[in-house]
């Protein structure tokens, strides 16, 4: 979980590969209306995200194998929806410097997310609370170091 540019897809793909899990790109489940809205620089609201979140829950519900889903999950209420299935859900919050996020977003090509929306995402982001299942990782290090730390932390959760 985390704002756009945090490395959710890159880290998620590598983590899934190393763990022999399924990787699911959460952005693929956004409606074209949501993608057009973000491309135009308009923020998604709770109503826009509702169907998207429930599509991801459906993926979680039908999975018979562990998976990594790249998903912003910015609010606790979104994470509650994403956890509303029979399988265990652990949130990994990729967090780091705003300057790094901005740099990554401006270098990214062929993605619907308009970098102007970063500030709104940062303002919307609700950090994991103590009653949520998950942990925070700083993404400002190399990808392999981040994935290694995630695997170590997951081992603490007996995964």
Please give the radius of gyration of the chain, using alpha carbons only, rounded to the nearest integer.
15
User: Domains in the chain, start-ordered, CATH in brackets?
Assistant: 8-156 (3.40.50.300)
How many whole angstroms separate alpha carbon 77 and alpha carbon 41? 23
| Each residue's pLDDT tens digit, 25-54 | 999 999 999 999 988 989 889 999 999 999
Q: Model-level pTM? A: 0.92
What is the pLDDT at residue 81? 97
pLDDT beneath 70, residues of the chain: none
Question: Measuring CA to CA, which residue among 129, 32, 35, 33 is closest to residue 73?
Answer: 129
- Burial of residue 35 (number of CB atoms within 10 Å: 0-12, 13-18, 19+): middle
Q: Are the C-beta atoms of residues 113 and 105 closer than 8 Å to each other? A: yes
């Amino acid at each position: 979980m985390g704002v756009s540019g945090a490395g959710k897809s890159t880290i998620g793909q590598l983590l899934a590969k190393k763990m022999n899990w399924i990787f699911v790109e959460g952005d693929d489940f956004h409606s074209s209306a949501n993608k057009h809205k973000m491309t135009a620089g308009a923020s998604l609201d709770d109503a826009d995200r509702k169907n998207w979140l429930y599509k991801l829950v459906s993926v979680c519900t039908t999975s018979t194998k562990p998976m990594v889903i790249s998903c912003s999950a910015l609010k606790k209420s979104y994470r509650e929806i994403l956890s509303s299935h029979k399988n265990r859900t652990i949130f990994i919050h990729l967090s780091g410097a705003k300057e790094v996020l901005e740099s990554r977003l401006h270098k990214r090509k062929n993605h619907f997310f308009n970098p102007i929306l970063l500030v709104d995402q940062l303002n919307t982001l609700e950090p994991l609370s103590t009653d949520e299942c998950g942990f925070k990782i700083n993404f400002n290090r190399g990808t392999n170091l981040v994935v290694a730390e995630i695997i170590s932390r997951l081992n603490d959760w007996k995964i």
